[in-house]
């Protein structure tokens, strides 16, 4: 058990260091490769269903994790939320979000396999990333479902996993708590940490440059011009001089 405690004490810092140095390295040496490597040009129908499902599902899963990992149990109790209600809302919101994310990524992986040009543009790096991502999602769903059915006994992650998670950020790691958490939480978090360590070396870097400003910028007004009225727009017809 001692070894496991040391592992959970130290591994988050190794992952944070790999992610930070890796991101700096990628930005410094592969700025032009900092992209999603979009394959929309090869296939757009399945992409237009799978991609929003995956991304909006992930957003809901992330919000759920922020609430579950950063908000201490005493705080939700103090505001009058019973443990039963807390777990019920986590289940009712978390399970659909997790399933939407999984179905979304299922469609995206299927599309990669089924459409020749998309398949040809898929690298070994992409395949590894998809594999770890899908494993993290499936293991996360198993945690929620196992926690909900109590799997024989009650494993409340808010007393172990969440306290361990917060302890990392205040530089007082509580690996002992994680070492005593249910095995399915340990597996899920281990896979999630592997994903974070791989992050800077994969297409996932595009998440750091999400076009958030796009939501707030003013509209761009497009006007169409009737081609028949403006023959100079057709082919190589000589252009009329503007003034
Ligand atoms: C250190 C990082 C992480 C920790 C400590 C963590 C912890 C947890 C815990 C405790 C649960 C169970 C929640 C419940 O029963 O209500 C859970 C569920 C879940 N996790 Fe994570 N997780 C981490 C990272 C990730 C990542 C990177 C992904 C996605 C790739 C992910 C995807 C999921 C999903 C899909 C669920 C089930 C649905 C949900 O609750 O939203 N987790 N996670």
Ligand 1 in contact with 142 (CB < 6 A)? Answer: no
Ligand 1 proximity of 165 Cβ (cutoff 6 Å): yes
**Which one of 191, 192, 195, 207 would you pick to mutate in the ligand 1 pocket, going by the greatest count of ligand atoms within 8 A of its CB?**
192
B/e letters for 93-110, b = 16+ CB within 10 Å, e = fewer, are: ebeebbebbbebbebbbe
> Residue 154: what pLDDT?
62
pLDDT tens digits, one per residue of 154-206: 668 999 999 999 999 999 999 999 999 999 999 999 999 999 999 999 999 99
Sign of CA dihedral 36, 192, 141, 127: positive
Is 177 a pocket residue for ligand 1 (Cβ < 6 Å)? no
Residue 65 CA, ligand 1 centroid: distance in Å: 6
Residue-level pLDDT at 152:
45
Q: Indicate which residue's Cα is closest to atom 1 of ligand 1.
A: 189
Question: Given phi > 0 = left and psi -120 to 50 = alpha, else beta, which region is 10?
Answer: alpha
Residues of the chain falling short of pLDDT 50: 152
pLDDT value for 55: 96
């Amino acid at each position: 058990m001692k070894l496991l405690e040391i592992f959970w004490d130290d591994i988050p810092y190794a992952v944070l260091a790999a992610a930070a140095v890796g991101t700096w390295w990628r930005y410094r040496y592969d700025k032009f490769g900092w992209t999603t490597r979009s394959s929309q040009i090869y296939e757009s129908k399945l992409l237009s269903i799978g991609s929003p499902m995956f991304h909006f599902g992930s957003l809901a899963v992330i919000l759920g994790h922020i609430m579950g990992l950063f908000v201490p149990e005493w705080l939700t109790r103090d505001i009058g939320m019973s443990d039963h209600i807390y777990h019920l809302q986590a289940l009712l919101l978390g399970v659909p979000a997790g399933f939407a994310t999984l179905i979304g990524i299922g469609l995206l992986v299927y599309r990669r396999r089924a459409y020749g040009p998309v398949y040809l543009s898929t690298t070994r790096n992409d395949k590894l990333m998809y594999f770890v991502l899908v494993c993290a999602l499936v293991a996360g769903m198993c945690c929620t479902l196992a926690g909900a059915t109590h799997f024989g006994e009650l494993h409340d992650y808010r007393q172990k996993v969440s306290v361990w998670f917060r302890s990392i950020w205040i530089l007082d790691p509580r690996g002992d708590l994680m070492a005593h958490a249910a095995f399915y939480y340990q597996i899920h978090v281990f896979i999630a940490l592997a994903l974070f360590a791989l992050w800077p070396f994969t297409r996932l870097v595009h998440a750091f440059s999400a076009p958030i400003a796009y939501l707030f910028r003013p509209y761009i007004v497009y006007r169409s011009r009737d081609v028949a009225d403006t023959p100079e727009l057709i082919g190589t017809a000589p252009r009329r001089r503007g003034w």
